[in-house]
Amino acid sequence: MKKRMKKAFMRTLVGLFSVAVALAGVDLLLGLVDPFRFTPKNEFPFQKPALYRLSKVKELGYELRAETKVDVAGIEYRINRLGFRDIEHRFLKTDKRVAIVGDSITFGWDLPLEDTYAYQTREKLRSEGRKVEIMAMGITGYNLMQEYHLIKERALRFAPDLIVVQICLNDFEKTLGIRPDPKQQFLLTQYGEIFIPYLFKKTKLSHWLMARSYLFKLLNLKLAPLIGNQNRGSAPRDFYSSGTETAVENLRRTKALLAGTPCRFAAVLFPFRNDDMRQPYLAFYQAILKELEALSVPTLDLNATLNSSMATPEALWIDYLHPSRAGNQRVAEKLADFILSLLEVNTDGRE
């Protein structure tokens, strides 16, 4: 009896092992045949191509061209000698210095410089007698990976007391591809992100499988629409995006980079306008907030500020992504207080 049970047990083990090997083989084959590659979605047209150039820092890809200026539709875009759309700054600091590193929101897409939140934050602090220097380092199209390298290669040179990373809900998207172009020197190619819905509740195991198993990704990607067709009320409760993993990893890298310096690290999180905040983007939003909390990074979440029920969207937004002058003014009021709470600066400049 015991021998039969032992043989049955061994057959079961061999069967399970065979199934595991077969699944691993299928997974490996899928990884070779259909590896969920990010594919070009469309070319990204710079409205002001003369302002940009290829960067010597490979990870940045491109950067702003120092000391250039263009006018578009009555708006002046002037790049200072340090290579950012901002007022001029001296290399040596005399006051507390804050570097705000971000993308087109910090750059001021379709806004005069004076309307941007960084400029308005600077003016608010000055009006209150606060001796705080604000340096705006925003470059259109940058994501958290590029912002990490911008901090490492550029921002730390100016010995800031505080670095504020401006995060947007599309920062999970992959880095833009770059290819030569005879007219504009280079073109950027946007890559479409792959959202994979979780069929069942998101757990540590299912997340691990999403990150490592092509077969598991494929099953979730293909079966979710079928389940939705069978049950009209069915909707994924969460989404997986490898771009989110990349964004989170670069937050950790930034935290580790600044841990070895006297510079503090903080974040300001910009939402999408409410009517465009789709579920996959909200999943990224929640993942980033969770990671910032885990890293103990002070964070200013602007969702309530920019999506207030007391204001019409048209008053605070240019589009679904970029705040208007009024929206930036609201941000500046919150950000100025946020910065002061971290630096603890009095009107005489002392801590």
Position 268 scores a pLDDT of 98
* Buried-exposed string 117-153: b where 16+ CB fall within 10 A, e elsewhere: bbbbbbebbeeeebbbbbbbbbbbbbbbbbbbbbbbe
Q: Is the pLDDT score of 279 beyond 70?
A: no
**40-192+241-343 adopts what CATH topology?**
Rossmann fold (3.40.50)
The residues facing 69 across adjacent strands are 78
The string of pLDDT tens digits covering residues 187-244 is 777 666 677 888 877 888 888 888 888 888 888 887 877 766 666 666 677 788 778 8
Pure H helices in 190-344:
204-212, 214-230, 242-259, 279-294, 303-306, 313-316, 325-343
Position 306 scores a pLDDT of 92
Contact between residue 191 and residue 173 where contact means Cβ atoms under 8 Å apart? yes
The string of pLDDT tens digits covering residues 169-187 is 888 776 666 766 776 666 7
Work out the percent of the chain whose per-residue pLDDT is above 70. 81
Position 61 scores a pLDDT of 86
| Cα gap 160→261, rounded to integer Å | 10
Q: Is the pLDDT score of 311 beyond 80?
A: no
The string of pLDDT tens digits covering residues 1-37 is 666 776 677 777 777 777 777 877 777 777 777 767 6
Please give the sequence-ordered ranges of beta strands (E in DSSP) within the chain, or none if there are none.
Answer: 40-44, 52-54, 62-64, 69-72, 75-78, 96-102, 132-138, 162-168, 177-181, 185-191, 196-197, 239-240, 264-270, 299-301
Count CA atoms closer than 13 A to 297's CA, side-chain side: 31
| Cα gap 36→39, rounded to integer Å | 9
| Cα gap 272→290, rounded to integer Å | 18
What lies within 8 Å, CB to CB, of 37 at 6+ separation is: none
Quick one: DSSP state of residue 196? E
| Cα gap 307→303, rounded to integer Å | 6
* Chain position carrying tokens 């073109």: 187
| Cα gap 215→230, rounded to integer Å | 22
Please give the mean pLDDT across all residues of the chain.
85
Position 14 scores a pLDDT of 72
pLDDT band at 347 (very low <50, low <70, confident <90, very high): very low
Position 189 scores a pLDDT of 72
Which of 193, 247, 224 shows the shortest CA–CA distance to 36?
193
Burial class of residue 318, CB neighbours in 10 A (0-12, 13-18, 19+): middle
Q: What is the pTM of this model?
A: 0.83
Work out the percent of the chain whose per-residue pLDDT is above 90. 46
Which of 126, 149, 133, 30 shows the shortest CA–CA distance to 86?
133
Q: Does residue 277 or residue 300 have the better pLDDT? A: 300
pLDDT band at 349 (very low <50, low <70, confident <90, very high): very low
pLDDT band at 87 (very low <50, low <70, confident <90, very high): very high
The string of pLDDT tens digits covering residues 98-134 is 999 999 999 999 999 999 999 999 999 999 999 999 9
The string of pLDDT tens digits covering residues 149-165 is 999 999 999 999 999 99
Contact between residue 187 and residue 179 where contact means Cβ atoms under 8 Å apart? yes
